[in-house]
Amino acid sequence: MATAAAASAAELEADPKAGPEAEGEEDEAKADGARRKVFTRAVATATYKSMGPAWDQHQQREEGVSESDEDEEFAMASSAESSPGDDEWEYDEEEEKTQLEIERLEEQLSINVYDYNCHLDLIRLLRLEGELTKLRGARQKMSEIFPLTEELWLEWLHDEISMAGDSRDREHVYDLFERAVKDYICPNIWLEYGQYSVGGIGQKGGLEKVRSVFERALSSVGLHMTKGLAIWEAYREFENAIVEAARPMAGFLSPFDREQTFDSQLEKVHSLFRRQLAIPLYDMEATFAEYEEWSEDPVPESVIQSYHKALQQLEKYKPYEEALLEAETPRLAEYQAYIDFEMKIGDPARIQLIFERALVENCLVPDLWIRYSQYLDRQLKVKDLVLSVHSRAVRNCPWTVALWSRYLLALERHGVDHQVISVTFEKALSAGFIQATDYVEIWQAYLDYLRRRVDFKQDSSKELEELRSAFARALEYLQQEVEERFNESGDPSCMIMQNWARIEARLCNNMQKARELWDSIMTKGNAKYANMWLEYYSLERAHGDTQHCRKALHRAVQCTSDYPEHVCEVLLTMERTEGTLEDWDIAVQKTETRLARVNEQRIKAAEKEATLAQQEEEKAELRKKARAEKKAQRKKKTRGADKRKADEDNENEWGDEDEERPSKRRKLENSVPAAAEAPEAPDLAAETGLFGKSASADDTPASKQKERAAAPKKDVPKVPHDSSKDSVTVFVSNLPYSMAEPDEKLRPLFEACGEVAEVRPIFSNRGDFRGYCYVEFKEEQAALQALRLDRRDVGGRPMFVSPCVDKSKNPDFKVFRYSTALEKHKLFISGLPFSCTKEELEEICQAHGTVKDIRLVTNRAGKPKGLAYVEYENESQASQAVMKMDGMTIKENVIKVAISNPPQRKVPEKPEARKGPGGPTAPRQTYGARGKGRTQLSMLPRALHRPSATGAQAENGPASKPAATASEVTEAPKMSNADFAKLLLRK
């Protein structure tokens, strides 16, 4: 009887129409009926086993009908399998073409085993041809390299189930199910697994096997709000089928046997109902109604409370589930929002589930795998779970080196055998990374692991020899494999050799080997960089001797081309503290000779750059004149016979330009002195970097501006400005011109600083808001507090807040928020990608010292300009950061880093001094590192400049001297670098 039940169960499972993937109400009804029939008949053996001989008599009365039904179904199934199909193939040209295509695909896979589509095509053709042996091999080969999708696994499982005959074949199918549920979270595969295990209930341990499969399925997908319900119902129906089969004979049992068998089985069904109603799932109401109908006793109050609590949780989750249902695959943004929500709640089981659900559709997104594995590494820390996720991650995204590095760390963290870690590393090398630097990173991770295995207290050990061998192999691999493939080394700074040298010097006390490695590093094109020599010098200083330190610095002076002054300074400092007089004289002679040669080279480069800059300026001047002439012609054409009409037309046509460039007439608007607006102008120009440029005063399109110009004028009340209240008033500018009701929108913002007496927005004659206003407070302290709101984002633009000062009465008043002098503890960074955030830059800068503040420079519209100021705790940290970060690549952008030294503020010149006849000619403005452009950069780092004996050091570069006369030039042909550079940089 057990064999017949198992066979019938297998037949029904093999029929795809009875599976959980059936679509439509009719197919679902058929599937449910088939599943219930399988459960009811297949549990007969388990019931017989639990009920004992008392069940035998009842079974004999039903045996005739049951066996006849089974024989009839078996005969029908056998007849269907043996009957010839309508699509039976004959050997013809089509079959020959198919065989040739199969051979071609097999040959292609022998060349490139990572061709995913080729695997799929081969499996499809082999299945079509019915070559089962080759089909199994092809599927096995693909599953070893790639994780299979739910559809591929179900297709494979259905084929194997249809061919399974004896218990050995059945165990093979069980193994396939175990492999299938490990690739991705698949509710349908778990459901198939549970149903198939029911067919083996007649075997030894079959009942425990079924329950084990269903319990694991609940742990994996039981919390799935949309698909977990099917697993719960299938498990409950299985247990309920045993109850229904045992119910007729329950009355024949003794009270003890009834409690041990029937009542115990009944409690299992009750327990499943209660567990299911305690978690939020779709269609919970139907499950609760089913429980009320099934249970002979009233539902306990505790179950009702758990049910209502789950309903409340379901309402919280519904928006995220509905967003997933409405979105299109792969729905990454929706899953990310869902993950963030689950992370806030903090339920590990649900967090794991939502990650798994997201990865089913986004398995090729490395960042999602990294976030998932990072959560498991830091929170759950369960070895099997963590290693499983890391393994799946590298199988899905083998080209991502970060996943392999994290995998190696996880293996080491959980104490995995060294041989396993080595094999994993070899797989990483053959994964096919897309950048040369990726191979350097994976080698670095593996070498770090090997270094941690070595006990350096011993002079020699197997682990140490393995580490040295790995370093040598890494260098050879990068030279032979990586350079040939990418035409670049991937490790231009020789970081692997540097680490090897540090280990030999610090941990092995082998300075001879360290020096050999550094010689090799310098011969690979690194001898021209000062930071490389200083790194070597630091190593010699700590673990070598003074003789080798001196030798290294002498070589550095001769070879360094980027920062020779710094290297010279280090050499002189060492000789000053440790060297003899002879050593000092040699060092001074070498440094002076080297710096003189460097200055000559820089002068030649400056001449060339100055010539190019002058040519660019001339071209720009020509373009400016051409635009002015074109503009004048357009104005002339608009004039007609009627002067008044022409003036009105001209005002409408050129109104937008007047908005951008305020005229003298506007100084009288609203009876507010125009000088009060002046404090903002220098602050804006210096902060945003718009030297000599006028920013657009309105962001609206030209068509809207013309409509606004043509609109009728509004009557705006004129509010006189009381200059006696300037101490309690702030000037607010750079506000959006489209802001409606500025008073209402700005008042709550400034009321946080103190009681606001009045907000006076400034409007044009047409009634349009001009983008600035005055905010008057009751107390002076509130006005000072309001200055802290400077650069606050308002309407997508940085709002400028400055003191209200009448420049006509205080011509020397200057407002500038940031220092304009040399700041040795602060860096100026240029060339940043516009997408770089403050947090990303802070993470990079923190590696070189304690960061006190970071400021990203934006324009008037709040858009980033690729510039930033980074303030460190002290000068030494800033100097170290310049050496390490200058020339660094951030998001494919090469950045420039220098000590902060903003350009000198331009002082307005008096017209009579500039235009007066016979008067002195005003010197042209000289620009510094951030003046006219990169062509006028000072080659000498600002931090290394020394004050000149003849004059004070300029804020924008080396010390400047008064312009020399012609006689002085002839008398003193030898000029300093600073003098010559100043002459070249003049307009």
Look up residue 899 and give its amino acid. I
Tokens 């510039």 belong to which residue? 867
Structure tokens at 292: 């009320």
- Cα 212–chain centre separation: 40
Q: 100-328 has which fold? A: 1.25.40
Confidence check: pLDDT of 371 > 60? yes
- Tell me whether domains 729-803 and 826-899 share a fold: yes
CATH code of the region 729-803: 3.30.70.330
**Domain boundaries, given as residue ranges, for the chain:** 100-328, 729-803, 826-899
Q: Which two tokens stand for residue 20?
A: 């959980």
**What class does CATH assign to 826-899?**
alpha beta
In this prediction, residues 97-126 reach a mean pLDDT of: 90
Which pLDDT value is given to residue 682?
Answer: 36
What is the number of residues in the chain?
987
Q: How confident is the model at residue 902 (pLDDT cuts 50, 70, 90)?
A: confident
pLDDT tens, residue by residue, 718-739: 666 777 888 889 999 988 888 8
Check residue 421 and give its pLDDT: 97
Separate counts of helices (H) and strands (E) for the chain: 42, 11
pTM above 0.85, yes or no: no
Q: For residues 770 and 737, is the Cβ–Cβ distance under 8 A?
A: yes
- Sequence letter at residue 680: E
What are the φ and ψ backbone dihedral angles of 825, each rounded to 5 degrees? -95, 5
Round to whole Å and give the CA distance between 479 and 490: 9
Higher pLDDT, 555 or 796: 555
pLDDT at 749 over 50: yes
365 pLDDT more than 70? yes
- Position 261 scores a pLDDT of 72
Helix axis angle for 530-543 and 495-502, nearest 10°, is 10
CA-based R_g, the chain, Å: 41
Beta bridge partners of 773: 732, 761
Per-residue pLDDT tens for 566-585? 999 999 999 999 999 999 99
Distance in angstroms (rounded) separating the CA atoms of residues 851 and 845:
7
Residue by residue, DSSP assigns 530-574 as HHHHHHHHHHHHHHS-HHHHHHHHHHHHHH--S-HHHHHHHHHHH
pLDDT higher than 90, residue 423: yes
d(CA 807, CA 337): 53
Distance spanning both ends of the chain, measured CA to CA:
106
Q: Is 133 exposed, middle or buried (0-12, 13-18, 19+ CB in 10 A)?
A: exposed
* pLDDT mean over 175-184: 93
Cα three-residue angle 45-159-168, rounded to 5 degrees? 50
Q: How confident is the model at residue 547 (pLDDT cuts 50, 70, 90)?
A: very high
Residue 460: pLDDT band with limits 50, 70, 90: confident
Q: Of 530-534, 804-808, 875-879, 899-903, where does the model show the most confidence?
A: 530-534
Question: Residue 366 has what pLDDT?
Answer: 94
What's residue 837's pLDDT? 87
What's the confidence (pLDDT) of residue 490? 87
- Of 272, 273, 280, 266, nearest to 299 by C-alpha is 273
User: What does the buried/exposed string (b/e) look like for 381-401 if buried means 16 or more CB atoms within 10 Å of the residue's CB?
Assistant: eeeeebbebbbbbbbbbbbbb
Closest alpha carbon to 365 in 346, 339, 344, 327: 339
pLDDT of residue 695: 39
Q: Can you tell me which residue has the tokens 């702030």?
A: 730
Q: Which two tokens stand for residue 926?
A: 């000289």
Greatest CA span in the chain, whole angstroms? 134
pLDDT of residue 25: 46
Q: Quote the tokens at residue 501.
A: 């040298």
According to DSSP, the residues that pair with 802 across neighbouring strands are: 731
Above 80 in pLDDT, residue 357?
A: yes
More confident residue, 589 or 934: 589
Could you please report the per-residue DSSP string of 907-949?
Answer: PPPPHHHHHSTTPPPPPPPP--TTSS-GGG--SS-GGG----S
In 3D, which of 63, 14, 18 has the Cα closest to residue 36? 18
Q: How far is it, in rounded angstroms, from Cα 220 to Cα 224?
A: 9
Report the range of poorest mean pLDDT among 382-396, 598-612, 686-700: 686-700
Hey, what are 262's tokens? 């029937």
Residue 140: what pLDDT? Answer: 93
The mean pLDDT value for 829-839 works out to 88
Contact 928, 903 (CB under 8 A): yes
Query: Quick one: CA dihedral 362, 366, 370, 371, positive or negative?
Result: negative
Nearest to 868 by CA among 858, 859, 856, 860: 856
Distances (CA, A) of 900 to 566, 827, 867: 17, 5, 12
Q: Are 869 and 828 in contact (CB under 8 A)?
A: yes
Q: What does the pLDDT average to over 967-977?
A: 48
Residue 720 phi, psi dihedral angles, 5° rounding = -65, 140
374-408 pLDDT, tens digit per residue, is: 999 999 899 999 999 999 999 999 999 999 999 99
Mean pLDDT across 817-845: 82
Answer for the pair 147, 155: CB distance below 8 angstroms, yes or no. Answer: no
User: Cβ distance 368 to 184 under 8 Å?
Assistant: no
> Token pair of 248, please?
């007729």
Reported as a pLDDT band with limits 50, 70 and 90, residue 815 is low
Task: Provide the pLDDT confidence category of residue 862 given band limits of 50, 70 and 90.
Answer: confident
What is the torsion angle, in degrees rounded to the nearest 10, for the CA atoms of residue 40, residue 43, residue 49 and residue 50? -70
Asked if pLDDT for residue 688 goes beyond 50, the answer is no
Residues facing 794 on adjacent strands: 797
Backbone angles phi, psi at 51, to 5 degrees: -90, -25
Q: In 3-state terms, the chain is what percent helix, strand and coil (to 5)?
A: 65, 5, 30
Rounded CA gap, 885 and 898, in Å?
9
Mean pLDDT along residues 30-40: 49
Question: DSSP 3-state assignment of 471?
Answer: helix
pLDDT band at 46; cut points 50, 70, 90: very low
Confidence at residue 925, expressed as pLDDT on a 0 to 100 scale? 41
- The pLDDT score that the predictor gives to residue 743 is 86
DSSP for 634-657, please give it. Answer: HHHHH--S-HHHHHHHHHHHTHHH
Hey, CA dihedral for 433, 439, 441, 444, is it positive or negative?
A: positive
Q: Do 202 and 6 meet the contact criterion of CB atoms below 8 Å apart? A: yes
Return the residue matching tokens 């539902």.
299
Question: What confidence category does residue 681 fall into, taking pLDDT thresholds of 50, 70 and 90?
Answer: very low
Residues 6+ apart with CB under 8 A from 370: 393, 402, 403, 406
pLDDT of residue 668: 36
User: CA 939 to CA 929: how far, in whole Å?
Assistant: 9
Tokens of 209: 């096997």
pLDDT at site 981: 60
Mean pLDDT over all residues of the chain?
78
What's the pLDDT tens digit per position in 253-271?
666 666 667 788 889 999 9
**Dihedral sign (CA 719, 723, 726, 728):** negative
Considering only CA atoms, which of 632, 650, 630, 631 is closest in space to residue 640? 650
Q: How many degrees, rounded to 5, is the angle at CA 696 between CA 695 and CA 702?
A: 160
